[in-house]
Amino acid sequence: MVCEFVVLCRRLNLFTQALMVIDGSKFKAVNNRDKNYTRARMKRRLAQIEASLDHYFEQLERVDHEESGKRYRYWCTHCEACSLKSHCTTGKERRVTRWEREAILKAMQDRLDRDPEIMRVRRQTLEHPYGTLKAWMGSMHFLTRTLNRVGAGMSLHVLVYNLKRVMNILGIKPLIQAIQA
């Protein structure tokens, strides 16, 4: 069923940079005893997560100060005679430290500065399908058991999402005509 839908989308030229169809066959579900949580187990797990987060934040702080990767240092010995020295440094000379991958960060920041809407578009494009599916599924998520049945249920959710997108883009009559063709 999903394969036929993908063929239909290709025939209608719906695969472009601006449009996206998500594939439900890649979702995995596991519902074994180790993955089921009671209230007490959830409290214990939340305490473990909080402790782990504290540990990770400490590590991030340390790494931020160390900055992994090679660093380059530059300095100028002409500062004593420079008229701008008081605006630039209080030391004998101006020292500049650069991270070896700083060009990558600068290139990304330049792209964001040139087109600030790009992150908004990315959030709208990528996060909307998953948020919509989560809202549709509600708190019960899956009413079936076993991986095959849960996978089939997820595939149906994704298929319905994609059909609704195509209906909104093309309209119902053109979609029915395309299916019948």
Summarised one tens digit per residue, pLDDT across range 126-142 is 777 777 877 877 766 77
How many residues can be counted in the chain? Answer: 181
How much is the pLDDT for 92? 81
pTM: 0.37
Residues 6 or more apart whose CB falls under 8 angstroms from that of 14 comprise: 21, 166, 169
pLDDT band at 45; cut points 50, 70, 90: confident
How much is the pLDDT for 29? 61
How much is the pLDDT for 162? 84
Dist. CA 164–CA 172, nearest whole Å: 9
Distance of CA 127 to the CA centre of its chain: 7
Dist. CA 161–CA 26, nearest whole Å: 15
How much is the pLDDT for 151? 79
Domain locations in the chain? 1-29+116-181, 44-100
Residues 6 or more apart whose CB falls under 8 angstroms from that of 170 comprise: 12, 178
61-91 burial: b if 16+ Cβ within 10 Å, else e: eeeeeeeeeeeeeeeeeebeeeeebeeebee
Average pLDDT, the chain: 77
